[in-house]
C-alpha cells in the first residue's frame, strides 16, 4: 500500500512539473531510471500524514482519469492528422481544424495539471511545499545535465554512477 502511495504521489508530482509531457510520444531509453530518481527526490522526507496521503491519492486518481480521456482524444486527433498528411492531396482545411483541436486538447491538459497542482499544494504544509519545490528543482537540474547516472548523488555515501 505504501509503495502504491509513493508511486501515486510521484505520478502527481511528475505530471505537474512536466507540463505537456503526456502529449509527447512515450518511451525512450532510460525513462525508468529517471522516474525512479523522481520518486526518490519527491517523496522522501515529506512526512505526510495519513489524511494528506488519502487526499493526495484522491487528487491523483481524479487527475489521472481526466488526463487519460484527454490524452486518448489527443492521440486520436494526432493520428487523424498524420493520416491526412499522408494523402496524395491532403485536405488542408481538415488538417487545420485538427491542429486547432490538438491545441485545444493540450490546453485542456495544461488546465487539469494546473488545477491538480493547486489542489495538491493546498493539502501540503508550507514546509512540505518548500521541500517539494527544492527536491523537484534539484531533480530537474540533474536530469538536464545528463541524468543521474552521470553524477554523484547529493546524499552522503550514495552514488548513482551504477545501477539504481
At 107 the three-state DSSP class reads: helix
Residue 134 counted as domain residue: yes
Residue 135 counted as domain residue: yes
pLDDT tens for 137-153 read: 776 677 676 655 544 44
Number of domains in the chain: 1
Write the Ramachandran bin of 45: left for phi over 0, alpha for psi from -120 to 50, otherwise beta: left
Closest CA to 152 of 161, 162, 139: 161
DSSP state at residue 152: B
Residue 15 counted as domain residue: no
Structural domain boundaries, residue 138:
61-148
- Measured N-to-C along each axis, helices 50-85 and 92-123 cross at an angle, to the nearest 10 degrees, of 170
Which residues, at least 6 apart from 110, have a Cβ–Cβ distance to it below 8 Å?
19, 20
Residue 34 counted as domain residue: no
Mean pLDDT of 53-61: 93
Closest CA to 164 of 8, 3, 39, 36: 36
At 159 the three-state DSSP class reads: strand
Residue 127 counted as domain residue: yes
* 78 pLDDT above the threshold of 70: yes
CATH number for the domain spanning 128: value is: 1.20.120
152 bridge partner residues: 159
Mean pLDDT of 68-91: 95
Residue 113 counted as domain residue: yes
Residue 19 counted as domain residue: no
pLDDT tens for 6-50 read: 555 555 455 554 444 444 444 444 444 444 454 455 666 788 899
Residue 39 counted as domain residue: no
**What does the block give as the cell for 25?**
510520444
Q: Can you say whether the dihedral through the CA atoms of 148, 4, 117, 154 is positive or negative?
A: negative
Amino acid at each position: 500500500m505504501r509503495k502504491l502511495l509513493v508511486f501515486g504521489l510521484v505520478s502527481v508530482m511528475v505530471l505537474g512539473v512536466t507540463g505537456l509531457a503526456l502529449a509527447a510520444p512515450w518511451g525512450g531509453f532510460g525513462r525508468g531510471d529517471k522516474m525512479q530518481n523522481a520518486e526518490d527526490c519527491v517523496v522522501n522526507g515529506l512526512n505526510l500524514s495519513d489524511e494528506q496521503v488519502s487526499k493526495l491519492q484522491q487528487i491523483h486518481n481524479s487527475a489521472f482519469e481526466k488526463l487519460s480521456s484527454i490524452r486518448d482524444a489527443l492521440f486520436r486527433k494526432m493520428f487523424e492528422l498524420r493520416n491526412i498528411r499522408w494523402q496524395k492531396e491532403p485536405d488542408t482545411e481538415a488538417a487545420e481544424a485538427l491542429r486547432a483541436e490538438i491545441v485545444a486538447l493540450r490546453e485542456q491538459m495544461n488546465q487539469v495539471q494546473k488545477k491538480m497542482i493547486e489542489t495538491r499544494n493546498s493539502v501540503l504544509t508550507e514546509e512540505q511545499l518548500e521541500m517539494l519545490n527544492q527536491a523537484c528543482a534539484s531533480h530537474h537540474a540533474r536530469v538536464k545535465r545528463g541524468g543521474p547516472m552521470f553524477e554523484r548523488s547529493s546524499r552522503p555515501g550514495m552514488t548513482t554512477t551504477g545501477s539504481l
